[in-house]
A = this chain, B = another copy of it.
Amino acid sequence: MRQTTLRDVAELAGVSPRTVSNVVNGYARVTDATREKVERAIAQLGYRPNVLARNLATGRSGQIVVVVPYLDTPYFAELLQGIIPAARKLGYNVLVDQTDGDRDHEGELIGRGSRRFLFDGMIFSPLGLSQEDLSVRDPDLPLVVLGERSSDGTFDHVGIDDVAASTDAVSHLFSIGRRRIAAIGDQPYPTGEAAQLRTQGYRAAHALFGRPVDESLIISTARFNRADGATAMAALLDRADPPDAVFCYSDLVASGAIHAIHQRGLRVPEDVAIIGYDDIEDGRYSSPTISTIQPDKKAIAQMAVDRLVKRIASPSPVPGVELRAEHRLIARESTLGVATSS
């Protein structure tokens, strides 16, 4: 028996093949009555749409993949709240892949051996791959890179000015009168490129305010998470000369640091002022609320989707561009205290 085709379904249902296709793919609004007719015909004939075969023919899957290091990092979860609706509006479904910052996994995803034919393009936030690694990739994969890398001319890069943002954060701590400012979140080269830009800003703010950098106050952590923030803060509080303020390289690190300060019975900001980075929702509800650097996540998401869809649609290679989103300093209770909080 020959295989049932979409045409057979259309004939039995008394509709056009395009209508069957719409029902099958859920692409367009179809009336309930029509949908029912088509579904009855599908059931009667035992029709099985073959999505892979369709993709093979058109070369498109209608899916884009967003690749992030950690889904339990709220910054990425919040960024996705901008990317997903922006992509859907342009007709793309979004799937998300978590790499754990694993260099091999990241390399596979952008390499020639990638499963890329399942996706029309990729928005990628690398962690394990260095800037150089990014150049060894499938040149035909439409790619937009987020975070602290830069474009090599073959893909687009969207990010904020991390050095300027970090300078703003540490300058804020100086401007409220703090003089002994620690940094939590530094990471060594080559995987620590993001962290190093923040350390650069930390140094720049010291230069701006004419203060020497105490290298012993720059604390490295393996990740930008709560546990590492708490551990690093506890070690700083154990010192004979603890800091009076800390620049944390993420709001999660700040949340962990505040927890460690509270565990000692100390107060934020009276004993130690804290500023984070990312402006995740957590920091707007915590006690105290957390001062932070707010990247314009909606703009980052929209730029990334617009560029990717443009790349996907273009028959010829599109030159890579650098796009920069705005950031701003949000001062809350963890630096200003409850009385004067904004």
Which A positions have Cβ atoms within 8 angstroms of B? 23-26, 39, 42, 48-53, 55-56, 61-63, 65, 71-72, 74, 77-78, 80-81, 84, 93-98, 100, 104, 107-108, 111-118, 226, 230, 255-256, 258-259, 262, 281-282, 285-287
Would B56 and A108 count as touching, CB distance under 8 A? no
8 further interface pairs, Cβ-Cβ under 8 Å (given A26-B107, A26-B108, A72-B78)? A39-B112, A61-B115, A63-B115, A84-B98, A226-B285, A258-B285, A259-B285, A259-B286
B80→A98 contact, CB < 8 A = yes
Supposing A96-B96, A108-B26 touch, asked if A72 and B77 sit within 8 A by C-beta, the answer is: yes
B71 touches A77 (CB 8 A): yes
Most interface-central of A23, A77, A114 (chain B CB within 10 A): A77
Q: Are B93 and A97 in contact (CB under 8 A)?
A: yes
Is B98 a contact partner of A94 (Cβ separation < 8 A)? yes
A94–B94 touching, CB < 8 Å: no
Of A24, A25, A72, the most chain B CB neighbours within 10 A belong to A72
Give the contacting residue for A287; candidates B25, B52, B258; CB below 8 A. B258
Residue from B53, B80, B104 in contact with A71 in the complex, judged by beta carbons closer than 8 Å = B80
The 3 A-B residue pairs with the shortest CB-CB distance, nearest first, are A26-B108, A72-B77, A24-B113
Could you give 28 example pairs across A and B, Cβ below 8 Å?
A23-B113, A24-B113, A26-B104, A26-B107, A26-B108, A26-B111, A26-B113, A26-B114, A51-B115, A51-B116, A51-B117, A52-B52, A53-B56, A61-B118, A63-B115, A71-B77, A71-B96, A72-B281, A74-B77, A77-B77, A84-B98, A84-B100, A93-B115, A94-B97, A95-B96, A226-B281, A226-B285, A259-B285
Residues in B with CB closer than 8 Å to A226 are 281, 285
- Closest chain B CB from A82 CB (angstroms): 11
In the complex, residue of chain B having the shortest beta-carbon distance to the beta carbon of A112: B42
Give the chain B neighbours of A93 by CB distance below 8 A.
97, 115
**Least CB distance, A142 to chain B, in whole angstroms:** 15
Inter-chain CA distance A336–B115, complex, in Å, is 51
| Smallest Cβ-Cβ distance to A118: which chain B residue | B118
Q: Which of B56, B65, B116 contacts A95 (CB 8 A)?
A: B65
